[in-house]
Amino acid sequence: MYKDRQCNCDFCRVDDINEIKKGICKIKEGIKNIQDGLDDICCCRIREGIKCIEQGLCKSQEGLRDVIDGLKDFEFECDYRSNMCIKEGVCGIKDGIKGVQEGLCELRNCCLCEGIVSVREGLQELEEGLCSLVKGANQISDEREMRRKNKGCEVIQENRYDEIRSYIRNDY
């Protein structure tokens, strides 16, 4: 449920956004494989196409798991669940994966036309979900950066206040 971390300081902590970025890259690779599989099927290389679609589906699912794991690390830092782009992205990717799975099942059962249509629809949902997810991840990253900058300003202001207070006490 919780990740074991030895140290929570900013210097020692692994940047959690990298987990999300890694997942996004895997989803992109999966989409590319699915597109290549559709191209193979359209060129009458059905077996190779199905294999590419299977690989793309696996990469997309793995990428989604990485994204969700990365988002869990943000739970206490910022409320990513209120980010609509993240919600839409994750839901879109899940729906896209489901559509591609249905299409793959149809392709395996020799329903080429229906399978191609289902895979294309699922692929479109995957791409739209990925766009929303990237937008949401960028928003989270920007929010983190603003918090870090504001946190740095607060420390500087506290130091200045302490310095001023020490001068006032010395005058008495």
- Going by C-alpha positions, the residue among 93, 83, 66 that lies closest to residue 144 is 83
23: left (phi over 0), alpha (psi -120 to 50) or beta: alpha
Tell whether 3 is covered by a domain.
no
Quick check: helix, strand or coil at residue 114?
helix
Q: Give 50 or 169, the one with higher predicted confidence.
A: 50
Tell whether 9 is covered by a domain.
no
Tell whether 164 is covered by a domain.
no
Tell whether 169 is covered by a domain.
no
Tell whether 152 is covered by a domain.
no
Quick check: helix, strand or coil at residue 168?
helix
Whole-prediction pTM:
0.76
Give residue 107's pLDDT. 95
Tell whether 21 is covered by a domain.
yes
Confidence of residue 130 (pLDDT cuts 50, 70, 90): very high
136: containing domain: 17-140
Tell whether 44 is covered by a domain.
yes
- CATH number reported for the structural domain that contains residue 113 in this entry: 1.20.120
16-57: pLDDT as tens digits: 678 888 999 999 999 999 999 999 999 999 999 999 999 999
Confidence of residue 13 (pLDDT cuts 50, 70, 90): very low
Confidence of residue 118 (pLDDT cuts 50, 70, 90): very high
CA distances from 95 to 19, 36, 37, 84, 152 (A): 22, 20, 19, 16, 41
Cα 68 from Cα 16, distance rounded (Å): 11
Cα 86 from Cα 130, distance rounded (Å): 9
Tell whether 92 is covered by a domain.
yes
Average pLDDT over residues 49-73: 93
Cα 43 from Cα 31, distance rounded (Å): 19
- Domain tally, the chain: 1
- Going by C-alpha positions, the residue among 37, 92, 26, 36 that lies closest to residue 59 is 26
Average pLDDT over residues 96-110: 96
